[in-house]
Amino acid sequence: MVSPLMAIVIAVAFVVGACAPSLGKPGGSTSGGVVTIEHWDWWVTQGPTIDNEIKLFEAAHPNIKIKKTTQVVDKYPELLQLAMKGESAPDVFLIADKPDLIDQVRQGWLLPLNQWATPEWQKQFPTASFAEGANVFGGKVYTAPFDGPAPWLQLYLNTKLFREAGLVDATGNIRAPKTWDDVRELGRTITQKGGGKYYGFGFGNKQKFILPWQLMMVQNSGAPGGSSGYDARTGGYTWASNPAYQEWIEFFMGMKNDGSIVPNAMSMDDEMARAAFADGKFAMLIGGVWIQGGWQKTHPDFKDYTLVQLPYRGTQQDSYFYRGPGGKGFGISAKTKHPNEAWLWFEWLNSKAAAERWVKAGQGIRAFPEVNKPEYAPTPQFKAFMELAQGDIRLGPAPELLHPEMTQVKTQQTLPDIQAILEGVYTGQITDYKTALKDLEARQNAALQRAIAEAQARGVKLDPAWWRVADWDLARDYTTAVASDQR
Amino acid sequence: MAQLSTAFDITRTILPTLPFRLGRAIRQYGWSYAFVLPMLALVGLFVVYPLIASIHITLYDWNGIGKPTRFVGLRHFATVARDPLFWNAFKNTFLYAAVLVPIQLTLALALALVMNQPRLLGSTFYRAIYFSPVVTSAALVGVVFSLLIGSVGQDVNTMLTEQGLLSRPIDLLGDPRFALPVVIAVGIWHTLGYNLVYFLAALQSIPRDLYEAAEVDGAGALGRFIHVTIPMLREVGLIILFLAILGSLQVFDLVLVMTGGGPYYASEVVSTYIYHFAFTPASIQAESNIGYASAAAFFMGVLVIGLTAGQLLAVRLIRQRNSGR
Amino acid sequence: MAARISSWPRGLPSGRVNVQIITHVILLGLGFVYLYPFLWVLASSFKAPGEFFRSGPSLIPQALRIDNYAYAWRYGHFDRYFFNTVVVTVAATGLVVLIASMAGYVLSKTSFPGRRLVLGGMVLLMFLPGGYTIIPLFELVQSLGLLNSLAGIVVVQVAGALIFNTLLFMGYFATIGKEIEEAATVDGANLPTTYWQIMLPLAKPMVATVGLFQFMANWNSFWIPLVFTLGNPDLRTLAVGMYAFVGENSTGWTYVCAGAVMSILPIMAVFFFLQRYFIEAVAGAIKA
C-alpha cells in the first residue's frame, strides 16, 4: 500500500493544481472610486526614492493608488513585451532599453501624450529635449527625458593609496591623472609602494562588458564612438583606421606588463572589483556614478575617494562624450484604461519638484539643469560628478533623426567582438592585435553594408551616404541634427 | 541503452499494421494507454506544441520583438556549420562531458556503495552533506568560487612568486589554460549529489537475497559487485548515464556565472555560444538574433542525435556481426 | 541472519574497525569540500555587506548580524511568497511523481502498440532545445486563461519535467523482477491495482528521489513563475522575490544569502523527511 501520507500529498496536488485561484488581475482597475495605476520599473537602489514619490503623490491624489512592480532588471524587456501581448500591460512604465524606442512605437505599445504634453508643458525642459525621430514620431510625443546629460563613466581614485604612495602636490591635493601616461606612471608608483599588497589599477572582467569600459578611455582621445568603434564622420567602424584603439591597447598592455593591474582582474566581477577598490586593493577604477550609491551600502565608512574625467591620450583632449537630442524615461501604455490618471502620475514623476528630490537623494542628475545644483549633492563625490557632467559632454550627430528610415537597418552581431578580442589580447591568446582590429573593422563594416543592402531589398528607401556626417567638429555641439526640433 | 534504441525501429514495426491493430490494442491495453495519456497530453500541449510553433524562427533574422519578417531561409544553419567559434564551443562541450561524466559517475557510484552499507554510521548525515551543493544556486556558486579563487589564489600566488616558482601570478578563471579545467572540476562537484542519490535508490532495489546467494556460492566482495551489483544496475545505470551525458552537454548556468565562456572563448560551450547571440549586451551596437540562436540550438540538437544514433547503429552492427559468426 | 550479508569487504575484527575509521575520515574530508559552499552561504548571511567581499573564504562572520534575516524576510516578502511557493511546489511535485510514475510503469512493464513511438518521441525531445522564444507557450497559457495564476505555473512546470522523470521511473521499474507483478496478476488484480498497491510502493526509493528533486526544482524555479505571472507581486514565489535584492549594478549579497538559507531550510526538512523512506525501503528489502 502507498502510505496514507503519499495519498494525501497527491490528492492535495490535484485539488490545488486544478483550482489554484487566479489572483490579482493586473492592469489598472477601479474600485470604490479609487483608480489603481500599475507602475513598472527595474529600479532596486532607486526604489526608496520612488516609494517616497508614490507616498507624496497618493497624498495629493487620494482617488489614485499606485501599484509598483519592480521587475528583474535583465528580464525586463522580455516581460514588457509579453505583458503587451495580453491585457496585462502596466499603465505607466519605464521604457526598456531594447528594442529601440521607434520599434516599441511601431509595435503600438505606447500612448501618444500630445493632449497633455503640450508645447507649453514641453517648454519646461531644456532645448532639444523633444526631437522628431528621437522621442517624437510623426509629431507625436511618447516620453520625456528623465536623466540629465553626463559622461556615463569616470575614473575613480582611492585617495588613501595615492597619499600612501606620496603622490601629493604642493597644495596637498593628490596628483590626479589627466592622461594615459599619467595613469601608467602613477599606477607603477603605487604598485611599487604596495609591494604585492595593493596595485595601481583594477577592473572586474567577469561580466562581458567591462574591458570595453576600460577601452572607453579612447572616448576623450579622438575616437568619438568610444567602445562601439563607430565613427559618424566616416559612417563606419574604425577599429584599425583610427590609431587611438591600437595605441590604447599598447598603453593598457604596457600597464599590465608593468604589473600595475590587480592580478585577479579577469576573474573578479565588477561588483567585487568595486569592493576591492574600497578595501584598498588598488587605486584606480573606471565606473559610473551608480558605484557611489553602492559604496554607501557596502562600505559606508569609505570616504577616501574622488573622481576625475576619463584620461585622454597625449597632451590634450581631442573629443568628448556625446549625446543625441531627445531622451527617454517613462511611458504610458497604449492599452491603459485610465489615461488621465496615468498621465497625472507620469507628470508627477517628470516634475521639477520630484526631480529635485531625486538629485538630493543622490540618485543621479536630471533633465532639468536648474535642479542639478552642486549644493544639492549629498556627498562631495556626487558634487564632483555634477561638476564634471557640466563640461565633458557635447551634442553629437544623429543622422537617423533626419532619415528615420535608417532605423530599419538592423546590423547583425559578428564574433569575435571587441570584448572577446580585448580578452584575447589581455590573456595573450591574441598576439597580433593589429590584424585582429583590422579584421573586426572589416567584418563590422561588411555587416553594416549587408544590413543596408537587406533593408533596401525589403523596399526601404535608403542612401548609404546618410551614414556619413563629414561636417562634424568633435569639439563642438553638432546642432544641425536639431533642425527638426518641435519648437 | 537497449530501451532507448528501440525507438529507432518505429517505422519497421508499427506503422504498417497500425489500422488493423488499433481496435484490439485499445481493448487489450486500455489501461496502458490511460496511464501514458496524462503524460502525453501535457507534454504534447506544453512542450511539443511550443517547439513546433517556434521552429520556423530558425529561418528568420529576428530580434524577438513582434512577428519575424526578415526571412533568410536556411542561411543560419549554413553559418553555424561554418563558424569556427561554434566548433570550438562544440569541442569544449564534448570535453566537458567526456571528462565530467566518467569521473562524476565513478565517484557517485563509489560513494553510493559505501553509503549503502547498513552498518555505516551516519549515512543519513553524509547523504545530506554530499547533496548540499545541489541546493546552492549556480549564481551563488559562481560568487563563492570567484571570491575563493580571488583570496586563496592571491595567497598561493604570493607564496609561489616569492619562492621563484612563478614569474607572474596566475588568475585561474582568467587564464585560458585553466578556465575550462576549473569549470569542469566545479561541475563535477556541483551535480554529483544527483547521481549519488540516483545510484542509492537503484542500489536499494537490489534484493538482498541475491547477495546472500552469491556469498553462499563463495563470491567475495569484488565478485558480488561484479556478478550482482553491476548486472542489477544495468538498466537504471544506463539511464543515469544517458541523463548525465545529456545534462553535461547542456551545461549553461555554471559556465555563465564562472567565466561567461571566456577568456576569449577558452571555456565557451555551445549553450553560452547560443546565449551570446540570443542576448546581445546593450553595450554592443548590434541586434540580438533569436533566429540565429534558435538555429544554432537546433543544429546542436540534431548533431547530438546524429552522433547518438550513429553510435547505437555501430554497436548494433558489431553485435550482429559477432552473433552471426 | 540477513544483517550479516553485505557487499562490504570483510576482514579481521580489528581490521574492520580500521577500515571503518579510514572510511569515515575520507567521507568527512570529502564531505567538508562538499559542505563548504553551503557553510559559506550560511556564514555570509550573518556578514556585513562590505565584509562579504572582504572576508573571502572565511566561514566566521565578524559579528552575527541577525538583522540580515529580518531585512530579507521583510523586503523579500517571505511571508506572502512562502504560501505561493508551497502551493506551486506541492502541487507540481505531486503531479510529476504521479504522472511520470504511471507512464514509466506502463512503458517499462507493458508492450502496448505505440510504445516505441512514445519512447522515440521522448528521447528525441530530450535532445532538442526547448526553443529560444517563450512566446508560443505564453500565448497558449494565456488563451487557456491560466495566465496570472498559480495553476498556470504548475502545469508548465509539470509538463516540462515529465519526460526526464518518466525515463527515470521506467528505468527503475525495469529493475523490479517480473515475478512479483506476475503473482499479482495471477491473483486477478488489474493494472491500476497492481500499480497502486504493488509497484508504486516498491518504487518508494525512486518516488522519494524524484519527489525530492522535483520539490527542489519547483521550489527554486525562477523563470517560469516570473513569466507566467509577469512578476505580479501577489503571485511571486520565493525565488522570484529574492530578486528584490538584485539591482542593476549591485546585489545585496548578504540578503541573498539570508534569503537562500531561509528558502533552503524547507528543502532540507523535506530531504530529512524523505530519508525515512530510503531507510524504510532498505529495511523492507532486508526483511524480504
Question: pLDDT band for position B205 (50/70/90)?
Answer: confident
Which one is predicted more confidently, B146 or A169? A169
Q: Which of residues 188-217 of B touch C (CB under 8 A)?
A: 189, 192-194, 197-198, 200-202, 204-209, 211-212, 215
For residue B143, which residues of chain A lie inside 8 Å, CB to CB?
Answer: 269
Question: What is the per-residue pLDDT for C208?
Answer: 84
A17: pLDDT strictly greater than 50: no
Cα Rg of chain C (Å, integer): 24
Ordered by start, the domain boundaries in chain C are 2-67, 78-245
Class of the A29-149+325-379 domain?
Answer: alpha beta
- The closest CB to that of C248, out of A25, A44, A300, belongs to A44
Residue B13, in any domain of the structure: no
What is the ipTM for the molecules in this complex? 0.85
β-pairing, A140-141 vs A236-237, is unpaired
C160: pLDDT strictly greater than 70: yes
- Burial category of B222 from C-beta neighbours within 10 Å (exposed 0-12, middle 13-18, buried 19 and up): exposed
β-pairing, A330-332 vs A92-94, is antiparallel
Question: pLDDT band for position A230 (50/70/90)?
Answer: very high
What is the overall mean pLDDT for chain B?
A: 84
Helix B123-135 crosses helix C13-44 at what angle (to 10 degrees)? 30
Ordered by start, the domain boundaries in chain A are 29-149+325-379, 154-319, 399-484
**Cα dihedral C91, C97, C98, C100 in deg (nearest 10):** 130
The lowest-confidence range among B26-30, C107-111, C138-142, C198-202 is B26-30
Question: What is the per-residue pLDDT for B13?
Answer: 52
Q: What are phi and psi of A232, to 5 degrees?
A: -65, -20
A72: pLDDT strictly greater than 90: no
B242: pLDDT strictly greater than 90: no
The nearest CA of chain B is from the CA of A413 a distance in Å of: 5
CATH code of the domain containing B246: 1.10.3720.10
B233: pLDDT strictly greater than 90: no
Question: pLDDT band for position B111 (50/70/90)?
Answer: very high
Question: pLDDT band for position B2 (50/70/90)?
Answer: very low
**Percentage of chain A modeled with pLDDT above 90:** 75
Chain B CB within 8 Å of residue A227 CB: yes
Which one is predicted more confidently, B215 or A332? A332
Q: Which range, A63-67, B130-134, C281-285, is most confident?
A: A63-67
Question: What is the per-residue pLDDT for C17?
Answer: 76
Residue B53, in any domain of the structure: no
Question: What is the per-residue pLDDT for B18?
Answer: 57
Residues 6+ apart with CB under 8 A from A300: C50
The nearest CA of chain B is from the CA of A264 a distance in Å of: 5
Domain span at B195? 62-320
Q: Are A461 and A405 in contact (CB under 8 A)?
A: yes
* DSSP code for B6: G
Q: Is C171 helix (H, G, I), strand (E, B) or coil?
A: helix
CB atoms within 10 A of CB B18: 12
The nearest CA of chain A is from the CA of C39 a distance in Å of: 20
* DSSP code for A230: E
Q: Cβ–Cβ of B134/C166 closer than 8 Å?
A: no
Question: What is the per-residue pLDDT for A261?
Answer: 96
For residue B265, which residues of chain A lie inside 8 Å, CB to CB?
Answer: 416, 420
**Residue at grid coordinates 561554418:** B82
Question: What is the per-residue pLDDT for B283?
Answer: 61
Q: Which of residues 202-261 of C touch B (CB under 8 A)?
A: 202, 205-206, 208-209, 212-213, 216, 220, 253, 256-257, 260
DSSP assignments along C15-32, one per residue: HHHHHHHHHHHHHHHHHH
Residue B25, in any domain of the structure: no
**Cα dihedral A50, A51, A57, A58 in deg (nearest 10):** 160
Question: What is the per-residue pLDDT for A142?
Answer: 97
Q: How far apart are CA A163 and CA A167, in angstroms?
A: 6
Q: Are B247 and B271 in contact (CB under 8 A)?
A: no
Query: Structurally, what CATH architecture does the domain formed by C78-245 represent?
Result: Orthogonal Bundle (1.10)
In this prediction, residues C260-277 reach a mean pLDDT of 77
pLDDT per residue over B267-304, tens digit each? 999 999 999 888 776 666 677 889 999 999 999 999 99
Question: What is the per-residue pLDDT for C212?
Answer: 84
Give residue C249's Cα distance to chain centre.
Answer: 32
pLDDT per residue over A336-362, tens digit each? 999 999 999 999 999 999 999 999 999
**Residue at grid coordinates 544590413:** A451
Structural domains counted in chain B: 1
In this prediction, residues C142-151 reach a mean pLDDT of 92
In this prediction, residues B6-26 reach a mean pLDDT of 56
The lowest-confidence range among A2-16, A201-215, A385-399, C34-48 is A2-16
Q: Cβ–Cβ of A205/B265 closer than 8 Å?
A: no
Question: pLDDT band for position B217 (50/70/90)?
Answer: confident
Q: Which of residues 245-264 of B touch A (CB under 8 A)?
A: 259-260, 262-264
pLDDT per residue over A372-384, tens digit each? 999 999 999 999 9
- Tell me which CATH code domain A154-319 carries: 3.40.190.10
Q: Are A143 and A273 in contact (CB under 8 A)?
A: no
Q: How far apart are CA A3 and CA A1, in angstroms?
A: 6
Q: Cβ–Cβ of C205/B45 closer than 8 Å?
A: no
| Chains in contact with B, where contact requires at least 3 CB pairs less than 8 Å apart | A, C
Q: Cβ–Cβ of C230/A88 closer than 8 Å?
A: yes
Which one is predicted more confidently, A76 or A4? A76
Question: pLDDT band for position C204 (50/70/90)?
Answer: confident
Question: What is the per-residue pLDDT for C5?
Answer: 41
Question: What is the per-residue pLDDT for A402?
Answer: 86
What type of residue sits at position A19? C
User: Three-state secondary structure along A315-339?
Assistant: CCCCCCEEECCCCCCEEEECCCCCH
Question: What is the per-residue pLDDT for B266?
Answer: 95
The lowest-confidence range among A221-230, B13-22, C156-165 is B13-22
Strands (E), chain B: 60-61, 70-71
The nearest CA of chain A is from the CA of C41 a distance in Å of: 16
Cell numbers found for residue C78:
517571505
Question: What is the per-residue pLDDT for B118?
Answer: 74
Which chain B residue has its CA at the smallest distance from A276's CA? B150
B163: pLDDT strictly greater than 50: yes
Give the CA count within 13 Å in the CB-facing half-sphere of B155.
Answer: 7
Question: What is the per-residue pLDDT for C280?
Answer: 55
Question: What is the per-residue pLDDT for B282?
Answer: 62
Which one is predicted more confidently, B131 or A142? A142
